Amino acid sequence: MICDAALLPLLNSSLPLAVAQMTTSTFWLLGVVVAVLAILLLTGRLLERRQSSMMNPALLQRFNHRVRVWLMMSAILVFAFLMDQFIRGVTVLLFGFVSFWALREFVTMTPTRRGDHRTLFWVFFIFTPLQYVLIALGPAYYGLYSIMIPVYGSLFIPARNALAGDSKRFLERTAKIQVGLLICVYSLSYAPAMLDLNLSSSRKVQWDGSPVSLLFFFILIAQIADVLQQAWNRFAGVHVIAKEINASRTWEGLLGSIVLTGAIGAALWWATPFEWYEAAVMSMIVAMMSSAGTMTLSAIKRDRGVTDTGTLVQGHAGLLDRIDNVCFAAPVFYHLTRYFFSV
């Protein structure tokens, strides 16, 4: 009874904190996203029925697949956020699974030798779970999860590979594993880490949002930036950035994506702790990093002679193909927010 009495104030004080995670700004942002996706899905269905000769059937089918997957991803995120009212680790677990699968696709795309198998065991079943466990434990462990993979993981991988006694293409094999762990696990893990940010608004009016809405805002902006660049590439692209890497990515597409993404981010400033101009700048940075992630993965795929990283998601090739932009943008967005907008 004494123990229960001592714990009761603690439980009562923690309950409002959990309930406060989903605020008015968060629900409004979710509502806008769902409404836009519903309109896009309805538009795609109507175009399919009309079967207009002016519309490329393959392009239309890919568009509809993309919208359906976005709806599925949004539903999963909303479920994770709602569950986070009771079990905070659900969101971290979701991203942990995504990291594990993306790393699996990366390793499958870049074959390794038998001597790497024990190193890969450590990468998949020790470093990957440990990174997300540290994030799940909270911001007190930031100092550890921020350096574990780039420091300890990067030192452990070549040392463990050397113990296998296989020197053939040693540097290349080691670099593959390190890059895969850095992109698929370490970088992506900064997305759920945003839930631990103790945000402070720079506005004159107090912001009623939460890290949940900030995380959803980030993912939304990263996906919008990718779509806008593809649209600009198709309708206004002239000067290709790197033809041997990705012939469809142009400077016009990159510039158009940065400008329009910044405008959309400014319009959604109310879902963030930023002023409208700060939201615009942060969105433009996300757009630039998203493009860098796509170009980097394109270079890796060209080097390995593959078109897609996998076939997990229908109409979207591999999972890694869908999150490459998020992987590159997440750590930059996280640290800029932490250093400039966190208490």
122 CB-near residues (< 8 Å, 6+ apart): 156, 157, 160
Q: What is the DSSP letter of 141?
A: G
**Which is it for the CA torsion 153, 332, 323, 82, positive or negative?**
positive
Q: Residue 188: helix, strand or coil by DSSP?
A: coil
pLDDT score for 163: 94
pLDDT score for 62: 64
**Is residue 119 within 8 Å of 86, Cβ to Cβ?**
no
223 CB-near residues (< 8 Å, 6+ apart): 70, 325
pLDDT tens across the length of the chain (343 residues): 434 444 334 334 333 333 344 566 666 777 777 777 777 777 767 766 665 545 566 666 666 666 666 666 666 666 656 665 555 678 888 899 999 999 999 998 887 888 899 999 999 999 999 999 999 998 999 999 999 999 999 999 999 999 999 889 999 999 999 999 999 999 999 999 998 888 876 665 556 667 888 888 898 899 888 888 888 887 887 889 998 898 889 999 999 999 999 999 999 888 888 989 999 999 999 999 999 999 999 999 888 887 766 555 544 567 888 888 899 999 999 999 999 887 7
**pTM for this entry:** 0.82
Structure token digits, residue 95: 């991203």
Count CB neighbours of 138 within 10 A: 12
What is the Cβ-side half-sphere exposure of residue 130, based on CA atoms within 13 angstroms?
Answer: 15
How many Å apart are CA 111 and CA 109, to the nearest integer?
A: 6
HEC sequence for 278-330: HHHHHHHHHHHHHHHHHHHHHHHHHHHCCCCCCCCCCCCCCHHHHHHHHHHHH
How many Å apart are CA 11 and CA 154, to the nearest integer?
A: 41
How many Å apart are CA 165 and CA 118, to the nearest integer?
A: 12
